[in-house]
Amino acid sequence: MPLRFHNTLTQQTQVFEPLEGNLVRMYTCGPTVYDFAHIGNFRTFVFYDILRRWLRLSGYKLDHVMNITDVDDKIIRNATALGQSLGQYTDTYTKAFLDDCATLRLERPERLARATEHIPQMAAAIKKLEDTGYTYRSDGSIYFRIAKFPEYGKLSHNDFSGIVSGARVDVDEYEKNDARDFALWKAPKPGEFNWDTEVGTGRPGWHIECSVMAVQYLGATLDLHAGGVDLVFPHHENEIAQSEALTGKQFARYWMHSEFLLVDGQKMSKSLGNFYTLRDLFGKGFTPESVRYLLASVPYRKGLNFTFDGLTSSKTAIERLRNFKHRLDTAKLAPGLGEAIQSLAVASLKQFRDAMDDDLNTAEALGAVFEFLREANTALDAGTFLEDNRAAALELLNLFDAVFEILVPAEQAGAIPAEEVESLIAARTAAKKARDFAKSDAIRNELLEKGVILEDTKEGVRWKRK
């Protein structure tokens, strides 16, 4: 089955094909760096990561841009209260965000774009919108006149045709029933941070940054645009209006939105105070891999209720997978190919791929892996899992880990791979046979230094990591 994504724009699950060859031009809305991100935010960033990985594993090249919102109402309020410059304030949280992403093993987009580094380009875009009649000024601010863009509402599937033209909204976030002309440029306020630009002094509204940076780096039409479901309205609706008014072309062909991380049925959010940061969870002894696994294990379009039991189950699931991998790496197997387990390995690999191709159904993909794990463990116990079954089983686990990436514990990341351990053990066995004990001891010590402990048993050499 070809790769399919649910497109918010068409409200359908569609075969995904980029506009040009195998290059995917994608844009995802990044963090507002006004505080530490919480794991609700990270559900969305883990979704971007899984999306990236599956596109790559499907043979696509990526050109992915993500913005860092480093100027908005909340940032200005907090930086001002602390008497810090915007840069001072946002650098702290930008760095914390990028550190957290690395800890969660999130792939970096090809480009991170900071809003404050694109102010002249935003001003130029606003000027162009003014010149083409999409805007009006009021009290030093510039507003987008949504009545000039009849398709307004096409992403959120709302009919906004009846709204009062000229009614304005100055805040960055608002509800659907409050749809009004939104600020592209905000008038300077005493004591606030301002920029002098060709459209005047002031600062940009939140929405314009994404339109401008997306089009600047990726061209008028993106293959894919993603974000959390809370961004559909007004943010993405406004991005479409601005971009399409600017270029006259379709802005993004596929729109993907991830559902919320919930706590007791409510969105995890700063404002409700029901949130955890990664630091909170590490403080309680949970690992980054458990958080990553939990956030990745539920398909992105399903709400995910956060519980500590869920995190603990993730930990158990990871242990089972790691034990199985270790068993596959180290088991001494009889020669030959067990037919039944081989067909299951092939079927599970296909089921994994089909599930991911089906709008990134990670739960079903995991189901395929665990079913195989169960059967393979039984076959290993029974001696019906044979040497030539190892490759297909490892292929499944490797594909799983290319997406989920939890098999190697953080403290062992960069550790010596199992294949290398095996070949050093073989060299040591050969040295012993040749009675070159100096060499066999040297190899044992080399492995020990690399964190691998050997144990000589009647059945041969067993090994484990420290």
Summarize as ranges the residues that interact with Zn ion (CB under 5 A): 29, 210
Span near ligand AMP by CB under 6 A; candidates 3-11, 57-65, 224-232, 362-370: 224-232
**Nearest CA among 116, 36, 113, 126 for reference residue 76:** 116
Q: Which residues pair with 28 in a beta bridge?
A: 66, 226
Q: Which of 125, 261, 278, 397 binds ligand AMP (CB under 6 A)?
A: 261
> Which residue, 153 or 227, has its beta carbon nearer to ligand AMP?
227
Q: Determine contact, residues 135/184, Cβ cutoff 8 Å.
A: yes
Q: Which of 269, 305, 342, 429 binds ligand AMP (CB under 6 A)?
A: 269
> Which residue, 153 or 234, has its beta carbon nearer to Zn ion?
234
Residue 205 in contact with ligand AMP, rule: CB under 6 A: no
Rounded Cα–Cα distance for residues 275 and 288 (Å): 17
Residue 29 in contact with ligand AMP, rule: CB under 6 A: yes
Q: Which of 7, 32, 361, 440 binds ligand AMP (CB under 6 A)?
A: 32
> Which residue, 149 or 206, has its beta carbon nearer to ligand AMP?
206
Q: What is the nearest approach in angstroms of Zn ion to the Cβ of residue 193? A: 20
Q: How far does CA 31 lie from the centroid of its chain?
A: 12
User: Please, what's the largest Cα pairwise distance for the chain?
Assistant: 91
Residue 44 in contact with ligand AMP, rule: CB under 6 A: yes
Query: Considering only residues 348-407, where is the footprint of ligand AMP by CB under 6 A?
Result: none
Rounded Cα–Cα distance for residues 153 and 147 (Å): 11
Residue 68 in contact with ligand AMP, rule: CB under 6 A: no
Residue 141 in contact with ligand AMP, rule: CB under 6 A: no
Q: Which of 268, 344, 355, 373 binds ligand AMP (CB under 6 A)?
A: 268
Which partner in Zn ion, ligand AMP, none is near 260 (CB below 5 to 8 A by kind)?
A: ligand AMP
The residues of the shown chain that bind ligand AMP, judged by CB under 6 A, are 29, 31-32, 40-41, 43-44, 227-228, 230-231, 260-261, 267-269
